[in-house]
Structure 1
Amino acid sequence: MSSTPDLNCLDLNCLDLNCDMGEGFGAYAMGNDIAILDHVSSANIACGFHAGDPPTMRRIVGAALSKGVAVGAHPGLPDLQGFGRREMKITPAEAYAMVVYQVGALAGFVQAAGGRLNHVKPHGALYNMAVKDRALSEAIAEAVRDFDPGLVYFGLAGSVMIETAQALGLRVAGEVFADRSYQDDGSLTPRSQAGAMIEDEDQSLAQVRQMLGGSVTAQSGKTVALRADTLCLHGDQAGALDFARRIRAALSADGVQLRAPQRG
C-alpha cells in the first residue's frame, strides 16, 4: 500500500534515514547517539518504558534539534529487562494508554527545547505485535491521532500498521530495514530465528538498493513488493556509527537525498 503522496520520497529520489536512539538509562550507556545524529534525518527517541530516562530523553532531544534532525517518540512495552523485545499480552486499551503516556512525555521535552514532535514509531515487540494484530494496530494509531493528528506515523511498509493509520487519516511513512531479513508476508524475521539479522554491510546495502526499487527478497527467495519511505538503523547495534556513515555515503553516491517526512 502506498503512503500519503506528499510523504512519498520515491518520486522525489529521496529517503528518510531514521535511527532508534536514547536507549541508555541511569548508569547504562548504549550506542553513540550524538555522533550518529550527523548521518541521519530522523531520530526515534525511547520514552522510558523499554529504555531511556528523563535526562537521556532531554539530552538526545536537544542534540537532535540542534543538528536539524526530526524528532520522534519511540514508545515500547514496559520491559526494561527485555529491552521491549519480549511480547506481552496487552489489550488494545492498554496499548492506547501506554502510547499516549510515552508520546506525551517525549513531546514535553521537545516543547521545552523549543521544537515540535514530528513522528511516532512503536518499538520492538509492540511494533511487531501491531503488524500481526489489527485491533492492536488500530489502538496505537488512534493514540497517535488523538494526541496530535499532525504527527507522522512510522510503520512497517506494506503492513496493517500503514493501513490502519491511513484509515484514521494519519500521515504515514512506510519503514524498511537494512539489517533485518524478511518473511514471505513482508514481516521481519523474528530475532529468535537464524538469519534474522543481516550483519554483512555489503548485503545490507544491496538490500537497501533493492528496496528503493520497490521490493525485497525474503529468506525463502520470494520477491516481496514494498514501498520505502524511511529506512531504519539500529543505534544499539555494534558498528552502528560506521554503518550509518557508509549507508549515507552510498545513498549520496546513488543520487538519493536524505529528507525526513514532515508532520502536518
Structure 2
Amino acid sequence: MQALPKQGQVKFLKARNLFEKNAAPILHLSGLDITIVKTDYEGQAKKLLELMENTDLIIIAGGDGTVQEVITGLLRRADEATFSKIPIGFIPLGKSSTLSQTLYPGSLNQVQHIADATLAILKGETVPLDVLQIKGEKEQPVFAVTGLRWGSYRDTGVKVSKYWYLGPLKTKAAHFFNTLKEWPQKHQASLTYLGPTKRPPEEPEEKPSRPPLYVRIYRRLSLYWASPPKEIPQEATLEAWEEMQLSTIELSITTQNRQLDLTRTEDFLNICIEPDTVGKGDFINRG
C-alpha cells in the first residue's frame, strides 16, 4: 500500500513526477505487487490506515504530514499491537521530509534521497523509531515521530505561505506582522515529566524451540512435588514525576529520531523552553 499526498495541485504534480521518475521504476522492477493509493484531502491517509486490511509492507511517499497521518491511523487501530509490526518504508517527496535526513544522511539531493530510500525498502533495511503520543481532552490521540511545537514561532510558521507574493521576504513579513499583536507573547502551562528511563530489552525475533516431551513431563512433575515458594512482598517503586510551571514564547518536545543512536540504553525526550522575554527584533530575525 502506498499513500501519495495531494496538497495543492502544483505540489501534487511535483510529488507525482518525482515518484514516477525515481521510485516507481525501481519498485516495479522488484516484482512486488504494489497498490498505490492517492490521497485527495488532509486526514484521508489517517482514515485509510484505520480501515486497511492486513498487508506485508506499507510505503509512505510524501512528507512529514503524510508520515504523521499514517502513523496516527495505524496506532489508533484496535489491533495496533499486531498491525504495528508491519514494516513501514518512507520515500521523501514532500517539502519537509525530516526523516530522510536522519535515515539517509549520505544522500546529496532529493533525487538521491528517493533512490536510496526505495532501495533500502527493497533490501528490508529497518531501524526502530520513537513515537510521541499527543492526547487532548476530547479528541482521539495523535502520534508523531519528530516532535511537538507549541508557541508563537510555530503559529507564525503556519501563516508564512499567506505572504507568498512577497517572495523571499515572506518569512520575515509573517514574523513582523505577528509582532503587531499583543507583546510579549507568553504561553503558560504546567509541565509534568519523568527523567530518562531504562530501555526495555528487545524481544527475541524467534521463539525458542519446544523442549522434548520427557523434559516437559519432568518439569511438570518437579513443580508438582516441590513446595510452593514463599512470596516475599515487594515495595512498589514510585515514579519520580517532577512538575514545573512555565511561561514561554515557544515550547518544543522532540524525540531522538533526528539523532539516531541504536546503542543508547535510556529513553527520553528533548524539552526546549524558549524564554518569554524575546524582543520583537530578535523574534523577526530568528524567524
TM-score (norm 1): 0.23
Q: TM-score, normalised by structure 2?
A: 0.21
- The structure that has the greater radius of gyration is 2
Structure ranking higher on relative contact order (CA contacts 8 Å, 6+ apart): 1
